[in-house]
């Protein structure tokens, strides 16, 4: 299980995202306007090898006329991924673990594999800020049973609507599109054609929360 350390992080994740978010095609802020970010939820998954930190973070930008909540899957590593410079969000100094490389997790094969495992019921979501504690508010669902969390390839595409992961499963060679909702709208639901999804609670301005689709799965045409 992942261990959550109560320590410093320099720069912080929100500081890294302040620079990184405006460069993304799904960013809703105005050009030239610096986001003002607060953490507003999320969850974690465990890496079976215990090497990679996996976090699905919700952050809210309050700089515009209306707050916008973004979904940022992160991975944290003790060394850089060869050939993945374009996916690097930034580096940070962890008070216990030392230098860490923070990546856009949609480009990290460890996160993609564990996300699919969550969808098909083979991984258990964990609390975002508490060690060794399952998070029952996060739900993974897949319409079919007997699907194994084994992937042989992944292609990643960003556009203004979010991030699509085109995955091929093993051993059947089935092709699925895992859509990452990058802009979270509380109460956002999945459509009837979805084969699977991941839903979690997102806070509302009045202090309540609403079920929201973080991830939606469709058959690839």
Nearest to 190 by CA among 204, 211, 170: 211
Residue 84: what pLDDT?
Answer: 93
Is position 3 within any domain?
Answer: no
What whole-number distance in Å separates Cα of residue 72 and Cα of residue 67? Answer: 16
Is position 62 within any domain?
Answer: yes
φ, ψ of residue 211 to 5 degrees: the values are -65, 135
φ, ψ of residue 86 to 5 degrees: the values are -65, -20
Is position 166 within any domain?
Answer: yes
Number of domains forming the structure of the chain: 1
E-only strand ranges, 78-207 = 88-94, 98-104, 139-142, 151-159, 162-169, 175-180, 183-184, 196-203
Give the structural domain span for 201: 9-219
Are 142 and 119 in contact, with CB atoms under 8 Å apart?
A: yes
Residue 6: what pLDDT?
Answer: 61
Nearest to 159 by CA among 145, 180, 135: 180
Residue 57: what pLDDT?
Answer: 96
What whole-number distance in Å separates Cα of residue 134 and Cα of residue 93? Answer: 27
With tokens 């990679």, the residue in question is: 52
DSSP letter, residue 171: T
Please give the structure tokens belonging to residue 82: 């060869």
Per-residue pLDDT of the chain (221 residues; tens, 9 = 90+): 566 556 667 899 999 999 999 999 999 998 888 999 999 999 999 999 999 999 999 999 999 888 999 999 999 999 999 999 999 999 999 766 779 999 999 999 999 999 999 999 999 999 987 878 999 999 999 998 878 878 988 999 999 999 999 999 988 888 999 999 999 987 777 777 899 999 999 887 677 888 999 999 999 88
Are 198 and 215 in contact, with CB atoms under 8 Å apart?
A: yes
Is position 43 within any domain?
Answer: yes
pTM for the model stands at: 0.92
Beta bridge partners of 186: none
Residue 95: what pLDDT?
Answer: 67
Please give the structure tokens belonging to residue 17: 């995202």
Is position 2 within any domain?
Answer: no
């Amino acid at each position: 299980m992942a261990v959550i350390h109560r320590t410093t992080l320099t720069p912080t994740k929100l500081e890294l995202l302040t620079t990184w978010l405006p460069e993304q095609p799904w960013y809703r802020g105005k050009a030239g306007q610096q986001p003002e970010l607060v953490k507003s939820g999320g969850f974690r998954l465990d890496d079976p090898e215990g090497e990679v930190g996996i976090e699905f973070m919700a952050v809210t930008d309050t700089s515009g006329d209306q707050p916008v909540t973004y979904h940022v899957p992160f991975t944290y590593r003790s060394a850089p991924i060869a050939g993945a410079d374009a996916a690097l969000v930034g580096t940070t100094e962890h008070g216990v673990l030392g230098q860490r490389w923070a990546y856009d997790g949609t480009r990290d094969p460890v996160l993609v594999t564990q996300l699919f495992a969550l969808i098909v019921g083979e991984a258990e979501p964990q609390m975002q800020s508490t060690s060794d504690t399952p998070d029952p508010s996060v739900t993974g669902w897949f319409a079919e049973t007997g699907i194994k969390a084994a992937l042989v390839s992944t292609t990643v595409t960003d556009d203004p609507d979010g991030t699509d992961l085109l995955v091929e499963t093993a051993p059947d060679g089935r092709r699925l599109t895992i859509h990452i909702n990058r802009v979270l709208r509380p109460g956002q639901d999945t459509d009837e054609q979805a084969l699977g999804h991941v839903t979690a609670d997102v806070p509302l301005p009045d202090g309540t929360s609403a079920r929201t689709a973080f991830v939606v799965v469709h058959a690839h045409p």
